[in-house]
Amino acid sequence: MKNNIEKVADLIEQARKNDEDACQKILNLYKGRIFSYVYRMVRNFHDAEDITFDTFIKCFKALGRFDTSKKFSTWLFTIAHNTTFDFFRKNKQEYEYLDERHGITDDIVEKSEKKRKMAQIEKALIQLPPLDRELVVLFHKEEYSYQEISEILKIPVTTIKTRLHRARKKLSRLIQETK
């Protein structure tokens, strides 16, 4: 783990010197995580790709300002979060009725029996409000601590705890309903 952090620090250092290989490696390390997060938020492949694209452009252009004593991925997720919510604000009308849009289950997750459970949880996730969905993804999939999520979303830890608990309860109920 420590070795990994040191490697990322090296990559950032090289990327700051305009090293293309380092930029490629940073992209390969994080694009899946960022894209998955954004995709679960906006539920549209092309929008998710655009937002992920903008996130990395902002990241690389501001790399000189990044405080290397901090965790890079937390910083990157902060940019992704801001970019996603900017997008929500700009496309307010389109995103007001989230549930009416086609979900992840329709275009990415296969509907084979093997992936039935996966589709079930994705479908349930979609029905959570964006902020709750974001909390669930950051905490459970990305395994960030309450403190780190608080840094990314700029909301107090106590709020995160109560919302996360409520979100998990709701997820459980939604899954029971579809069974």
Partner 1 sequence: MKHKTIEILIQKSLDFEANAEEEKILQAHLSGCKECQRFYQEMVQIQKALYGLTEFYPEHGFNERLLKKLGFRKIFAWTKTAKVFAGAWLASILLLAFSPLPGKAINQILTSAPALMRIVNTGKVIISSLSHVVMPFAKNSFDIVWPIIGLVSSIIITYFFSKAIYPVRKLDANIKSPAQGQDFLTG
Instruction: List residues near partner 1 by CB under 8 A.
Output: 16-18, 20, 23-24, 27-28, 31-33, 35-36, 39, 48-49, 52-53, 56-58, 60-65, 108-109, 117-118, 120-122, 136-137, 140-141, 146, 161, 164-165, 168-169, 171-172, 175-176
Looking at the Cβ atoms of 97 and 111, the one nearer to partner 1 is 111
Is the CB of 30 or the CB of 95 nearer to partner 1? 30
**Phi, psi of 163, deg, nearest 5:** -65, -40
* Nearest to partner 1 of 11, 96 (CB atom): 11
CB of 22 to partner 1, least distance (A): 11
Q: Left (φ > 0), alpha (ψ -120 to 50) or beta: where does 157 sit? A: alpha
Per-residue CA distances from 76 to 79, 155, 174 (Å): 5, 17, 31
Residue 48 beta carbon to partner 1: minimum distance, rounded to whole angstroms: 8
Give the integer Cα–Cα distance in Å for 106 and 111.
8
Closest among 70, 75, 40 to 55, alpha carbons compared: 75
Please report how close the Cβ of residue 31 comes to partner 1 at its closest, in angstroms. Answer: 6
